[in-house]
Structure 1
């Protein structure tokens, strides 16, 4: 009985510490700059010894173990309440581990506070200038991307992050940081997931179904999460920044091309229909064809039923962790780019 009470006390103390860091105004930023660099370095070093995803095995193994344990307790027709208590205690430890290992990055200062950039106020002139510069850069960067030298791409991206301005508040990329394959890639592709961070062991994952042109930008996005970024818009921004400033043309084009869906969405919303159509005609036909190929590729893999469930769950998850816009946060990358461009004028 004494051991159980001690275990409960330890769990309660850990839970309170997590809540305190979440609730205090600077708790998340303190965690991100002091605790997370050490924690992530240790976990990344450990997980690098395994070629498969420890995170995926932990999640799916936990789900299977909990289910089997409850079935066994029900089958024995006794100690069901005790089994439920054990499951609840285990889930609390998982909750603590998630936030201690990575999740508290959701509670750090936002992009504008860390960089001291002004949040942009929309103006037609500012957006039109961005649109013109982006379109010219996208067209100029175009090149066929038929194959990917993954080791080379990953080395270039890590070097880019290592040289990134410290004002962004990212940690240095670990030497052993490299993307891992997903345990169930077909399931992830079926719900439209191209990559994700494994928070329990600080691993990044990318889909085997990515088109070659998507690899560099997706990899850079997931690396940003590993380096302490929780916001999807921010991860998109760093992916765009790192890729488009690369001297490797294929990586540079991947960065510009990855932004196209968000540019299209924003342009469609703010431009008159005639101006939107006129702008579309300025895109190189090869880029339009590649965009349609990408859309067709992922549409063929997508399962609408599972995809809608996943989207709603992830939207709920993001909103529950201070990303108030939910999954719409991805498209807010344009605001971050406009803020950076405005500061450079």
Structure 2
């Protein structure tokens, strides 16, 4: 399933934002709740979205920690999913630049002012929750 322009993220983002509506304010918790909601859905698109977003968050962390392991794991990914992630990256590259850096900087400060000490990095803090949940489940 190849989705144009990052459409695989839509279901994950919907669940993420709904978790905020339900009172979960931290971004890492919202991402984890979204992962659980998506992967436990009966809808294939939601499952795919949840797993692919979790994969993306984990691989982003792994890239900075161990690039060799990142390459090895990434090579095992199906060509269709690699293409989807590449197309998503290309789509978003059109929006990277001075304005997006300014936005990230401002949003980072807003999150920190709201009590999320990791700021914009709090989104990726979901990796710790994913690992903890995996250890408990398996």
TM-score with structure 2 length normalisation? 0.89
RMSD: 1.9
Q: 2:78 aligns with which of 284, 293, 307?
A: 284
Higher relative contact order structure (alpha carbons within 8 Å, sequence separation ≥ 6): 2
**Residue of structure 1 equivalent to 2:120:** 327
**CA displacement at 1:303 relative to structure 2:** 5.1
SS in 1 for 2:125: helix
Query: Cα distance 1:344–1:257, how it changes in 2: closer, same or farther (>3 A)?
Result: closer
- 1:124-168 CA-to-partner distances (Å, cap 9, x unmatched) read xxxxxxxxxxxxxxxxxxxx1559xxxxxxxxxxxxxxxxxxxxx
> Could you say which residue in structure 1 is the equivalent of 2:17?
222
Distance 2:72 2:3 in 1: 30
1:310 maps to 2:103: yes
Q: What secondary structure sits across from 1:259 in the alignment?
A: helix
Q: Which has the larger radius of gyration?
A: 1
CA distance in 1: counterparts of 2:3 and 2:68, whole angstroms: 34
* Counterpart position of 1:200: none
Aligned counterpart for 2:59 among listed residues 261, 264, 272? 264
Look up the SS of the partner of 1:228 in the other structure.
Answer: coil
Q: Confirm or deny: 8 A CA contact 2:2 2:80 kept in the other structure.
A: no
State the match for 1:293 in structure 2.
87
Aligned partner of 1:243 among 38, 63, 73: 38
Instruction: List alignment gaps of at least 5 residues for structure 2.
Output: none
Q: Distance in 1 between matches of 2:59 and 2:90?
A: 17
Deviation of the 1:317 alpha carbon: 1.0
Q: 1:277 to 1:303 in 2, by over 3 A?
A: closer
Task: Tell me what 2:133 maps to.
Answer: 340
Aligned residues of 2:2 and 2:84 also touching (Cα < 8 A): no
TM-score, normalising length: structure 1 = 0.38
Q: Separation in 2 of the partners of 1:235 and 1:228?
A: 9
- List 4+ stretches of structure 1 deviating above 3 A: none
Q: Distance in 1 between matches of 2:124 and 2:102?
A: 20
Is the contact made by 1:145 and 1:250 (CA closer than 8 Å) also made in structure 2?
Answer: no
Is the 8 Å Cα contact of residues 146 and 212 (structure 1) preserved in structure 2?
A: yes
Spell out the pairing of 1:158-237 with structure 2 (5 A cutoff): 211-237=6-32
The answer to whether the 8 A contact 2:6-2:87 is kept is: no
The superposition leaves residues 43-64 of structure 1 with CA deviations (integer Å, 9 ceiling, x where unpaired) of xxxxxxxxxxxxxxxxxxxxxx
User: 2:115 is paired with a residue of what secondary structure?
Assistant: coil
